[in-house]
Chains A and B, each alone.
Chain A
Amino acid sequence: MENGSDVQGQQQHPISLYFKVWGLLFVLSGFSYAVDYLQVQGELRWALIIIFMFLKAGLIVAVFMHMVWERMAFVLAILMPPLCILVLIALMSIEADYTYFNRLFFFND
């Protein structure tokens, strides 16, 4: 029972694991806040924000929402569809660049 779900699909895991993840989430949030507090700027700022964000999101989904212990069939059914959003992000950023260019072009004179 150490590490995994039993036959009824129940999720029972050592409480110490939750405490560790909880602590980590605090530390990571502290780091994200420090990025702003210390006024880190430019590409380093964006990289740090994204890294801390994905680490936090990953920990929440994996441990608090028990995704590491679910069956592969279920995990993929839930976690794959959001990848479509990457396409939306790509399309919208191309569109936004074009709009921005036009605004600069027409509003500036």
Chain B
Amino acid sequence: MENSALAKTTSVDVLIEDWASDKDAFKNVSWGKAMMWIFLLSDTFIFSCFLVGYMSVRMTTAEPWPNSSEVFALTIMGEHIPLILIAIMTFVLITSSGTMAMAVNCGYRNQPKQAAILMLVTAGFGLCFVGMQAFEWSKLIEEGVRPWGNPMGAAQFGAIFFMVTGFHGFHVSIGVIYLIIVALKVLRGDYEDRGYEIVEITGLYWHFVDLVWVFIFAFFYLW
């Protein structure tokens, strides 16, 4: 029975019904959630513009593009491992996405304490990510990478690197603050009457940050 109900709300007939119903097209979607999604949609366009800008710049440069595999390599215990820092950052962010999903789940199971703790753990992984990004930036700046040039190749590399990863890192930092605030409010009992959908909304933002990283990782670091 539950399955047929699910099939109904996700079908095209219901889509037409919803949009033709004069008001309240997004049924059973709270305003908080709808607005977060619409904000994320606008953010999608911002990041897309950055990545399309990167594409143009990379396609038009007549100089060779620096080999990211080598630029982001680290020597750990005498072993030279390509792109390792970025791989670790990717795994940290995915781990944080997992703990966030668990937090949302706990929220809906009415376990606010666990939800808040998991959100703080997620924020911790986020901080760890930003810390590694700071390390990566200082390493590159030390090696002479600047927004206007670098010793490894095409001058545009630095501009794209600092802009795209900087903007993403800024999103992660804001996400950490957001998570901490909501977690503390959950612990304080602010949502006891209203339920814990706020955890899901915060989670949407956090998963989006991870989602953007998936694209940056593919296009900027691996391509």
Contacts and interface: CB of A to CB of B under 8 A. Distances in A.
A97 B28 contact: no
Given A11-B200, A36-B69, A95-B56, A49 B2 contact: no
Interface string A2-13: 111101111111
Q: Size band of the B side of the interface? A: 35 or more
Q: Which of B10, B41, B105 is packed against the most chain A CB atoms within 10 Å?
A: B10
B138 interface: no
Given A12-B109, A93-B59, A72 B48 contact: no
Contacts of B195: 10
Contact of A15 (B29, B94, B105, B214): B105
Contact of A64 (B48, B55, B87, B203): B203
Contacts, number: 174
A25 B93 CA distance: 11
A18 B2 CA distance: 20
A60 B14 contact: no
Contacts of A78: 37-38, 40-41
A36 B28 contact: no
A44 interface: no
Interface string B16-59: 00110000011111100010011011001100110010011001
A4 B2 contact: yes
B167 to A, nearest CB: 17
Contact of A33 (B6, B87, B203): B87
A29 B94 contact: yes
Contact of B90 (A7, A13, A29, A63): A29
B11 to A, nearest CB: 6
A60 B218 contact: no
19 contacts: A11-B200, A12-B105, A18-B105, A33-B90, A37-B82, A37-B83, A39-B69, A56-B214, A57-B211, A60-B97, A63-B101, A71-B9, A73-B14, A73-B18, A88-B48, A92-B55, A92-B56, A100-B60, A100-B62
Interface of A: 1-5, 7-13, 15, 18-19, 21-22, 25-26, 29, 32-33, 35-37, 39, 45-46, 49-50, 52-53, 56-57, 60-61, 63-66, 68-78, 81-82, 85, 88-89, 92-93, 95-97, 99-100, 103-104, 107
Q: Which 9 A-B pairs have the closest CB atoms?
A: A9-B28, A96-B59, A73-B18, A53-B218, A72-B15, A4-B6, A22-B98, A99-B60, A12-B108
Interface of B: 2-3, 5-6, 9-12, 14-15, 18-19, 25-30, 34, 37-38, 40-41, 44-45, 48-49, 52, 55-56, 59-62, 69, 82-83, 87, 90-91, 94, 97-98, 100-102, 104-105, 108-109, 195, 197, 200, 203-204, 207-208, 210-211, 214-215, 217-218, 221-223
